[in-house]
């Protein structure tokens, strides 16, 4: 039994005279796989930002906040195995301490009216992709990834007593 694709038997695709058909077929297959991958990435990104906007809206409306699930770190975002939201506000970092697995993405955000500036605590581990950015202002995000086990410390330049300690363990 032979598989037919548009009237051409599959074993004939490999014949020298049908090489062009094979190349077109493989190119179409690669294109379809690329489109599927992009769709999956877009769906994950949309799901993440939908949850983020709901959380920011709930915080702005002073509704009761859901149970802090930051230590769960159990969802997949844009190629990262884990992601954790860290809120910076007038009262400091929420949560102020957490434990995560390697390759976790920390997503810092604020809905505070005052700006915040995230710095590394002197003597703590330094994330590979940490960049001391400008101020983070209302509804902005800053992200970094914690790849290796260790203890990472962060603090707010404008409120040094406000700090976050993240322990990364296998």
- Tell me which CATH homologous superfamily contains domain 67-168: Cupredoxins -  blue copper proteins (2.60.40.420)
Model confidence pLDDT, tens digit, residues 16-49? 566 777 788 889 999 999 999 888 888 777 777 7
Residue ranges, comma separated, of all CATH 2.60.40.420 domains in the chain are: 67-168
Task: Kindly indicate the confidence band of residue 71, based on its pLDDT and cuts at 50, 70 and 90.
Answer: very low
Entry pTM: 0.52
Model confidence pLDDT, tens digit, residues 108-162? 888 788 888 888 888 777 776 666 667 788 878 888 888 888 899 998 888 888 8
How far apart are alpha carbons 163 and 87 in whole angstroms? 12
How far apart are alpha carbons 100 and 105 in whole angstroms? 10
Q: Is the dihedral of CA 126, 130, 135, 136 positive or negative?
A: negative
């Amino acid at each position: 039994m032979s598989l037919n694709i548009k009237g051409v038997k599959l074993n004939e695709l490999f014949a020298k005279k049908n090489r062009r058909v094979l190349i077109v077929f493989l190119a179409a297959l690669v294109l379809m796989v690329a489109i599927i991958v992009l769709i999956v990435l877009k769906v994950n990104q949309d799901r993440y930002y939908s949850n983020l906007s709901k959380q920011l809206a709930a915080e702005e409306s002073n509704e009761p906040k859901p149970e802090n699930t930051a230590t769960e770190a159990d969802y997949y975002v844009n190629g990262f195995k884990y992601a954790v939201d860290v809120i910076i506000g007038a009262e400091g970092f929420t949560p102020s301490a957490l434990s995560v697995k390697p390759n976790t993405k920390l997503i810092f955000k604020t809905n505070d009216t005052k700006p915040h500036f995230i710095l590394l605590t002197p003597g703590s581990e330094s994330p590979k992709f940490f960049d001391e950015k400008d101020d983070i202002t209302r509804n902005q995000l800053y992200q970094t990834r914690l790849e290796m086990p260790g203890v990472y410390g962060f603090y707010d330049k404008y409120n040094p007593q406000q700090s976050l300690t993240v322990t990364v363990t296998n």
